[in-house]
Amino acid sequence: MKVASSSLEALNARIVACKRCERLRSYCAEVARVRRRAYAECAYWGQPVPSFGDPRARVLALGLAPGAHGSNRTGRMFTGDGSGDFLFPVLHEAGFASQSTAVSRDDGMKLKDLWISALVHCAPPGNKPALDEQRNCAPWLDEEMGLLTNLRVVVCLGKIAFDGLLAHARRSGQLTSRSGFVFAHGAEFKLPNGLAVISSYHPSLQNTNTGKLTRPMLLSVFQRAREVAGLS
């Protein structure tokens, strides 16, 4: 797996250096400069956020984009904000994460059988990347999917990630139509190449604070992903 690991590392390095979206780069840099009062003493990452995890992963967790004061601050997906505080205890209980808390990219977190990525790698204003920004980031996902050679299951965290994965499937020739693929929490689909897709509500505070997404609901999704991926 040294070749796959090296290739993913090289891909991540190119992602971090990306400057395709002027609006997003300006926004991330300004957030990193001004900072939130609670993090005034922190050195913000302020760059495109790379993916991370196990290069041999059978499961991919695909989110929307980094949070302005979460991943854009810490430099690691779902780390340092409310979404990550909800997600990582679930991943730990499901056997994918070495610990239940994620506070920085140097906190010792290790993932097993799981890779975490996002449709867009820069924090967008209002958590809403524009369509052209999603298109600019799409080649990264296409390349990443090809490098994850053991991949069996994709867990799409939110409808935008779900739509983005289907767009990837169309670009790669797996689908000619998305007919029959309807987003719903816990819904399962199979792409023609055998890759399983499981959709989930995003673990945003908007969903978790209102009870739209509960911990048992998300845990059930990742336990099912383990089962479908053939992990003991």
Domain residue spans in the chain?
A: 2-229
Note the pLDDT tens digit of each residue in 54-94.
Answer: 999 999 999 999 999 999 999 999 999 999 999 999 999 99
User: Chain-wide mean pLDDT for the chain?
Assistant: 96
Higher local confidence (pLDDT), 35 or 3: 35
Inter-residue contact 203 to 157 (CB < 8 Å): yes
Please determine, looking at this structure, whether the domain spanning 2-229 carries the CATH number 3.50.50.60. Answer: no
Under DSSP, the state recorded for 190 is E
Q: Tell me the percentage of the chain whose pLDDT exceeds 90.
A: 94
The per-residue pLDDT for 89 is 98
Given this model, what pLDDT does residue 110 score? Answer: 98
Strand partners, 61: 116, 155
User: CB 150: neighbour CB atoms within 10 A?
Assistant: 15
Question: In the predicted model, what is the mean pLDDT of residues 12-41?
Answer: 96
Determine what percent of the chain is predicted with pLDDT higher than 70.
98
- Kindly report the pTM of this predicted structure: 0.95
Q: What counts of helices (H) and strands (E) characterise the chain?
A: 8, 6
